[in-house]
A and B are shown apart, each in its own frame.
Chain A
């Protein structure tokens, strides 16, 4: 079945270095057919039909530039670099120490109705939803972590699983977004299947069950951290580092939706997503994955699975990437 398809020509993952000058491959190198899809998604904000209930709240959904910022390749601001220099190491140590504590163990094991497939469907839906609002990748990561940890505590009926999804997104946004969504907007997203009271009640239940332990370390943080480490290395190529980060974010989004990746820690997923991105973009100076302190075996296992995921999702990946990145990487693995 599907599993078998990507095997051919899969590179040995760690430390593969291609010398091909594929870097800076531009649109001219791609046939029109190949281009069609990523270009169609170039300006996501402009294609949105009637925004949810025309709220006065942040019009982010309509600002195309904002949308791409969640997955885009912004260079790191000098101030960020300076602060990373002061604190990056301790941030990393602290988050790495805590990620185990926040790691949901087999959240679907005791769920009578929620399946891996339903979870995949829900998160596949949350991905465009969070982009529609212009929320950060950090919010999505937090939402999925809250969702999974809640699932370890409480059996959830299939027909309120979507409500759980928007409620965890709601909580995540309250943690990190300047303008969290309105309850009304979230209810509209679910075609007004649920009531205001239901959403607020579920919010209380989640907060109670998780005892307000919400500040989980995220893949997003580790992507930023490893990118910073790479920029600081003397041979850094900022262009490569930023592109790898943007592609890795897209791959990481896909991995959130696949329950098979639930067992991997965020730091491992982050470093492997970057490693895979470097391979796909044929970078000359890829990230040294051993910075992460994971063994070769563990890294390779995770990389292989990510590779499989990416080849299964060739259609979806461009949708979660900034257009310039998807142009570059879309077909390199074929």
Chain B
């Protein structure tokens, strides 16, 4: 009875031919007697006779050629944005171009603050890109000193613009500018902030999934902010359907390289380990040159080729073929990256992050309590979400090697503008 009712020609809902009769679901509603929301008119009858409840689709639309969409008495249309006016920001120079967006430096006409305008082209074919939907919807709920702040969203017919706080450089450019490894104190401050930001999003059920130096913005005072949440997503469990094509190869954990789709927050923690090593040593930890195989070889050369003892379940991963990998034994990390030994506890922390077996990787929260950070002021662990670590006295960025007072060279101009826009 229930499934039969729903196929009448007069139905508002057009039925899917591909769904067989016996799979169609017709939920019978519980009575409206207990439902305070129902309008009293005739609702009670409807559990069994829904035909009279629906406005006939055919009759209501015949002869009307006008697009149905106009029938929304919505005051806003995509052409007249409800929030965020396109003309309230002045577009300055282009900062970069990504696969689906172009980033410009911009300036608010209202208060003169600098912003970053991420202009996303709305492709005709599939509507708003999923990356934009994820980034905007996830960032809307995130307010943290170490997460880039989304100020505004401007939606017009052709483009979607995400307006971010302006942060003048990123960790990749910063390391390019200071080759040979960063000042060990700065590494500690950057890593602390990275972990703080990650711990915040992980606690909110969100994975970043695309950690790399380019996505870590660095302000003139040394504040680090996680950015580019286009691949991030709210974690839904069970996570069997994750695409295994998400993380840039160099920062991609071995379990994902081996085809596992069971990843979780520990996915991001591998990237943290790689970035940590790169900041200290001055070279990428595992700069694979060719393909996934090459990337894995580089990892196993240092950490040892995994087996069932070191990594229970590794043999059942889709791409794990023992005969394809040279058998390496695990080494001390300092043999691969000598600068790890210059700093107390750095090697230990790196080795706890760079664990092939995902379950063994330290969580962001646990990493923040590692001894490596023990010489930082205790107040850093008591900060509210929106407080910068640099609000604690004596916490400041150190000049990098070869750097005098001209810390940021040509970028100093923006630096001045930046100092008033923070939060």
Q: Which residues of A contact B (CB under 8 A)?
A: 1-3, 37, 40-41, 44, 47-52, 61, 69, 74, 76-80, 82-84, 86-87, 90-91, 94-95, 98, 106, 108-109, 113, 115-118, 120-125, 127-129, 131-132, 136, 138, 154-163, 165, 170-171, 174-178, 180, 182-183, 189-191, 193-195, 197-205, 207-209, 211-215, 220-221, 224, 253-254, 257-263, 305, 308-309, 312-313, 315-316, 319-320
20 contacts between A and B (CB under 8 A): A37-B22, A48-B18, A50-B17, A80-B264, A118-B53, A125-B13, A132-B16, A157-B60, A157-B68, A161-B13, A204-B157, A205-B77, A205-B78, A207-B155, A212-B140, A212-B153, A257-B27, A260-B32, A312-B47, A316-B2
- Chain B residue contacts of A77, Cβ below 8 A: 238, 240, 262
Contact indicator B236/A136 (Cβ below 8 Å): yes
Q: How far is the CA of A309 from the CA of B2 in the complex (A)?
A: 13
- Chain B residue contacts of A171, Cβ below 8 A: 133
Contact indicator B19/A128 (Cβ below 8 Å): yes
Contact indicator B30/A312 (Cβ below 8 Å): yes
0 or 1 for each of B45-72: is its CB under 8 Å from A? (1 = yes): 0111010011101001100000111011
Q: Of A37, A50, A261, A320, which contacts B25 at CB under 8 A?
A: A320
Cβ of B126 within 8 Å of any chain A Cβ, yes or no, is: yes
The residues in B between 8 and 37 inclusive whose CB is less than 8 angstroms from any CB of A are 11-20, 22-37
Which residue, of A74, A158, A253, has the highest number of chain B Cβ atoms within 10 A?
A158
Cβ of B420 within 8 Å of any chain A Cβ, yes or no, is: no
Q: How far is the CA of A224 from the CA of B205 in the complex (A)?
A: 13
Contact indicator B134/A1 (Cβ below 8 Å): no
Residue of A nearest to B54 (CB): A118
Q: Of A113, A176, A191, A313, which contacts B234 at CB under 8 A?
A: A176
Q: Which residues of B contact A (CB under 8 A)?
A: 1-3, 6, 11-20, 22-38, 43-44, 46-48, 50, 53-55, 57, 60-61, 67-69, 71-74, 76-78, 81-83, 122, 124-128, 130, 133-134, 136-138, 140-141, 153, 155, 157, 202-205, 233-234, 236-243, 262-266, 358-359, 363, 365
Contact indicator B128/A1 (Cβ below 8 Å): no
Contact indicator A80/B237 (Cβ below 8 Å): yes
Q: How far is the CA of A161 from the CA of B56 in the complex (A)?
A: 12
Residue of A nearest to B124 (CB): A200
* A258 CB to nearest B CB, Å: 4
* B227 CB to nearest A CB, Å: 17
- Chain B residue contacts of A69, Cβ below 8 A: 240
* B130 CB to nearest A CB, Å: 4
Given A160-B69, A212-B153, A220-B236, the answer on whether A117 and B203 have CB atoms closer than 8 Å is: no
Given A123-B27, A157-B71, the answer on whether A51 and B18 have CB atoms closer than 8 Å is: yes
Q: Give 8 A-B pairs besides A109-B37, A124-B6 with Cβ atoms closer than 8 angstroms.
A: A3-B31, A95-B205, A158-B55, A170-B127, A174-B128, A175-B130, A195-B67, A208-B76
Q: How far is the CA of A202 from the CA of B67 in the complex (A)?
A: 11
Q: How far is the CA of A199 from the CA of B127 in the complex (A)?
A: 8
Contact indicator A215/B73 (Cβ below 8 Å): no
- Chain B residue contacts of A312, Cβ below 8 A: 28-30, 47
Residue of B nearest to A113 (CB): B55
Q: How far is the CA of A82 from the CA of B361 in the complex (A)?
A: 11
- Chain A residue contacts of B44, Cβ below 8 A: 1
- Chain B residue contacts of A51, Cβ below 8 A: 18
- Closest 5 CB pairs between A and B? A257-B27, A204-B78, A117-B53, A174-B130, A157-B71
- Chain A residue contacts of B14, Cβ below 8 A: 162, 189-191, 193
Contact indicator A263/B19 (Cβ below 8 Å): no
Given A49-B17, A182-B126, the answer on whether A197 and B27 have CB atoms closer than 8 Å is: no
Q: Of B48, B242, B359, which contacts A78 at CB under 8 A?
A: B359
* A279 CB to nearest B CB, Å: 17
- Chain B residue contacts of A106, Cβ below 8 A: 37
Q: How far is the CA of A78 from the CA of B134 in the complex (A)?
A: 27
Which residue, of B48, B60, B78, B239, has the highest number of chain A Cβ atoms within 10 A?
B78
Q: How far is the CA of A120 from the CA of B13 in the complex (A)?
A: 11
Q: How far is the CA of A3 from the CA of B83 in the complex (A)?
A: 46
- Chain A residue contacts of B358, Cβ below 8 A: 79
Contact indicator B13/A122 (Cβ below 8 Å): yes
Given A124-B26, A182-B126, A309-B30, the answer on whether A83 and B264 have CB atoms closer than 8 Å is: yes
* A158 CB to nearest B CB, Å: 4
Contact indicator A205/B3 (Cβ below 8 Å): no
Contact indicator A3/B33 (Cβ below 8 Å): yes
Given A2-B48, A159-B12, A257-B27, the answer on whether A204 and B73 have CB atoms closer than 8 Å is: no
Q: Of B50, B138, B239, B241, which contacts A117 at CB under 8 A?
A: B50
Given A180-B130, A215-B141, the answer on whether A121 and B50 have CB atoms closer than 8 Å is: yes
Which residue, of A159, A176, A259, A261, has the highest number of chain B Cβ atoms within 10 A?
A159
